[in-house]
Amino acid sequence: MPKAWAILLVAIVAETIGTAALQASQQFTRLVPSVVVVAGYAVSFWLLALALRSIPVGIAYAVWSGLGIVCIALIGRVVFGQRLDGPAFLGIALILAGVLVIQIFSRSGH
């Protein structure tokens, strides 16, 4: 995996941690999760900016946001017990399919 894509992957992990902490912060009323939100997003945006040195912004943002959505939906289900219905699963599957199409077939990000 090229370095820029590895950096983007870590940015996605940081963004997912920040978003999960956003739920846990209970609207910024709990200190530790609130600090994790700010740190997670700061690290994520910094790494996203680094990845943009080599990956076009449209491709990087599509992968960053798409995989972030899929990850946080799974965390919401497993950690926070949030239910997803059929259309929600379909939409998430389509997002994941879009990311896979970009990775497998597009030459724009390579």
Residue 69 covered by a domain: yes
User: Does residue 72 fall inside a structural domain?
Assistant: yes
The average confidence (pLDDT) of the chain is 93
Domain contains 62: yes
Is the residue at 110 inside a domain?
no
pLDDT digits (tens, 9 = 90+) for 9-36: 999 999 999 999 999 999 999 999 999 9
Name the residue range of residue 79's domain. 3-105
pLDDT tens, 84-103?
Answer: 999 999 999 999 999 999 88
The verdict on residue 89 lying in a domain is yes
Q: Domain count for the chain, please give it.
A: 1
d(CA 19, CA 33): 10
96 found inside a domain: yes
What's the pTM value of the predicted model, to 2 decimals? 0.89
Q: Phi/psi at 79 (nearest 5 deg)?
A: -85, -45
Residues 6+ apart with CB under 8 A from 69: 92, 95
Domain assignment present for 63: yes
Q: Determine the Cα–Cα distance for residues 39 and 92; give it in Å rounded to an integer.
A: 26
CB atoms within 10 A of CB 97: 11
Distance CA 20, CA 79 (A): 9
**Tens of pLDDT along 63-76?**
999 999 999 999 99
In a domain, 71, yes or no: yes
Q: What is the pLDDT of residue 110?
A: 62
